[in-house]
Structure 1
Amino acid sequence: MFQGRKIVVFSIVTDAFGGFGGIAQYNRDFLQALAASRQVERITVLPRFGNVPGTDPVPKVEQLPAVHGRIAYALQSLVNLRRVGHVDLIFCGHVFMMPVAVLLARLAGAALWLQVHGIDAWQRPSRLLRWSVRQADLVTAVSRHTRRRFLSWAEIAPEKVKVLPNTINDKFCPGPKSTALLDRYGLRGKKVLLTISRLAASERYKGHDRVIQAMSGLLAEHPETRYLIAGDGDDRPRLEELARRNGVAEHVIFAGQVPEEELVDQFRLADVFVMPSIGEGFGIVFLQAAACGLQVIAGNRDGSVDALAEGVLGRLIDPLDENALADALQDALNAPNLPSPEAVRRLCPERFGEAVSSLVQHVCLKSDANDIHCQT
């Protein structure tokens, strides 16, 4: 189809460089891997949210200013598609953006690649979105769980839907605790539980409240325990009030939004990373925590199972079982069971990059390549 020439990619995403959270991180890793592919000439990225870096984030990648508002975003995508000129591949980073992506692909005569992450792709959407999804040449899902949930409603050939899980940067590794952060949060001599995520009312499925409710019982045996919650959002006041009502406010620390340059040190402060979620598409934070040498506790009802390699990297529990959570926290503090560094590195950037390159060939060259072995 392209006869060996390099391709031009136009990408529409929620956020990437300058954004926060797991999806932004995934998009950054994906775009870096895509840019590193010898088959790609250049990539233009139009985000809905996030800050624009001062310079192009990586070679061959141009990120445009974020555009808020659906109509304004759709119009700017058309304007910038025309500015870019010839485009071979449209990458759509969120299922809700697919109607725009289909229009762009039709106008450009380009192949269309959809990425699906988590809960937004699990439920049967509107007729327009279902029609849009059918137009995709390739769909990648971050986990087997998300792929199953997506295929439960998507009217698309299953062989078009591949699993491309998160990767993890080498900077996430064990190291000393930051004395500055220990002093900032008063954590010297403490046992630290950690959760890093947005505190959004729409994401209460992550389970912060269940950990807070488990704290009073945990403190009876481990009074030196502190629960560090990193992240911010509109649900923070409710969680702060919940900690007060449960009499554990002095033991629960709200750190607010963590700057990217402090993220690794935040993980290293903790002994246990806990997020008993019921709605994770994958959960890159689980990998980051395990790579930094933390014990990890996660739920067994979502993509967390893939992130923890079905229990190899941490303990999977029923996230809605209060006793299971309490027992897992007690066990983690009483008898630490650290993850294997070799198991953590199964999703290294090199392997991720190879998978992305193979998928580029699969979608753009219309080859008969075998299924990509990037599944966990």
Structure 2
Amino acid sequence: MVSDFFYPNFGGVENHIYQLSQCLMSMGHKVVVVTHSYGDCRGVRYLTNGLKVYYLPRLPFYQQASFPTLLGWARLLRVICLRERASLLHGHQAFSTMALEAAINARSLGLKVVFTDHSLFGFADPASIVLNKILKAVLADVHAVICVSHTSKENTVLRACLRPDSVYVIPNAVDASQFTPDPRVAWPSDPESEEVVLVVLCRLVYRKGVDLLGLVLPPLLARHPRLRVLVGGDGPKRKLLEKVVSDHGLGDRVALCGAVQHEHARDFMVRGHVFLNASLTEAFCMALVEAAAAGLVVVSTAVGGVPEVLPPDLIVLAEPSAEGLLVGA
């Protein structure tokens, strides 16, 4: 498994790689994860059930994606593959430079290569044009491509000019036993007079709809006097939420709780009654499945692969706008 995104960083890709590795190990396969160092987390570490992780000395330069070198770490990857007797390399995420470079280098070593794309990207802006050209070149020589939703498959097929029959859809999954409802938290019998807690748990970045959330919170709280909001997660958009809370005097009703480790995600979610996802783009949002398993009412913007995630009776879909979210919530 190769990606720039892995623990201790928090997110859907990181959790996906970890859970997939654990499942493969339980089936008798040997799995090794290769990522870049995170602060003091460098060298070789062992996680649950002996999952071996190589934290390599790579320099992250944008949202934990490492600086591209192409052949700069080819020798190191070769040493790891020979030492671990690797037969297959699985890269994750289209904007992970480590995954893209490893896919190229692994083919030169004669390994089979599988690539999983976890996100949706555009076609017109300069960054997307460059990334799509790179993705087309890299995926032209891999054995299989996996996407996490049918919307994601369509997006990847068009961006990388792939044959649709070479791309497989395997939706993300959640171990529901780790996200059981809290029997002590009951839905208010009268939401107008009893407190209702709304939970948000995501990276505080633009594509997760934090700007949209900042627009929605003041009118939503004004409409529902008994509503309280818990926001979990961290990122560059935290300052925007802090300003919204300060400007509208919402400090006693909106709690910015900071980063939440995945092992504590269930405990954070069950503190509330409603889970809100305001993403502007999503290939597949695992937090929606986790929140539904934990017994929360799920409200989300209808973007990307989100309509495929849960059946209609378990999710309220809204237009990705302030007005749409206000109607949905």
TM-score by length of 1: 0.73
Is 1:157–2:163 an aligned residue pair?
Answer: yes
Higher RCO (CA 8 Å, separation ≥ 6 residues): 1
- 1:368 corresponding residue in structure 2: none
Is 1:136–2:158 an aligned residue pair?
Answer: no
- 2:208 corresponding residue in structure 1: 206
2:180 corresponds to which of 166, 173, 176: 173
Q: CA deviation at 1:214?
A: 2.8
Distance 1:73 1:65 in 2: 18
One-letter code aligned to 2:89: I
Q: CA deviation at 1:145?
A: 1.3
Q: CA deviation at 1:95?
A: 2.0
- 2:88 corresponding residue in structure 1: 89
Q: Identity over the aligned pairs, expressed in percent?
A: 23
- 1:20 corresponding residue in structure 2: 10
Is 1:192–2:189 an aligned residue pair?
Answer: no
Deviations 1:264-291 (A, max 9, x none): 1110011110012121121111111111
One-letter code aligned to 2:9: G
Distance 2:25 2:43 in 1: 17
Gap regions ≥5 residues in structure 2 = 60-66, 186-193
One-letter code aligned to 1:151: V
2:46 corresponds to which of 28, 53, 56: 56
- 1:115 corresponding residue in structure 2: 116
- 2:63 corresponding residue in structure 1: none
1:305 corresponds to which of 300, 307, 329: 307
One-letter code aligned to 2:86: V
One-letter code aligned to 1:172: F
One-letter code aligned to 2:218: S
- Aligned Cα root-mean-square deviation (Å): 2.6
One-letter code aligned to 2:161: E
The number of residues matched between the two structures is: 302
- Quick one: structure 1 residues 160 and 19, their matched pair in 2 at CA, closer, same or farther if it must change by over 3 Å? same
Q: CA deviation at 1:221?
A: 4.3
Secondary structure class of the residue paired with 2:314: coil
Secondary structure class of the residue paired with 2:255: strand
- Quick one: structure 1 residues 110 and 289, their matched pair in 2 at CA, closer, same or farther if it must change by over 3 Å? same
Work out whether residues 177 and 265 of structure 1, in 8 Å CA contact, stay in contact via their aligned partners in 2: no
TM-score by length of 2: 0.82
- Quick one: structure 1 residues 248 and 83, their matched pair in 2 at CA, closer, same or farther if it must change by over 3 Å? closer
- 2:327 corresponding residue in structure 1: 327
* 1:65-80 equivalent positions in 2, closer than 5 A: 65-69=55-59, 70=67, 75-76=72-73, 78-80=75-77
- 2:62 corresponding residue in structure 1: none
Secondary structure class of the residue paired with 1:63: strand
- 1:282 corresponding residue in structure 2: 284
Q: CA deviation at 1:71?
A: 5.3
Distance 1:120 1:31 in 2: 26
- Quick one: structure 1 residues 130 and 163, their matched pair in 2 at CA, closer, same or farther if it must change by over 3 Å? same
One-letter code aligned to 2:180: C
- Quick one: structure 1 residues 74 and 314, their matched pair in 2 at CA, closer, same or farther if it must change by over 3 Å? farther
Secondary structure class of the residue paired with 2:46: coil
Q: Which has the higher helix share?
A: 1
Gap regions ≥5 residues in structure 1 = 1-10, 179-188, 330-376
Work out whether residues 29 and 167 of structure 1, in 8 Å CA contact, stay in contact via their aligned partners in 2: no
- 1:266 corresponding residue in structure 2: 268
- 1:253 corresponding residue in structure 2: 255
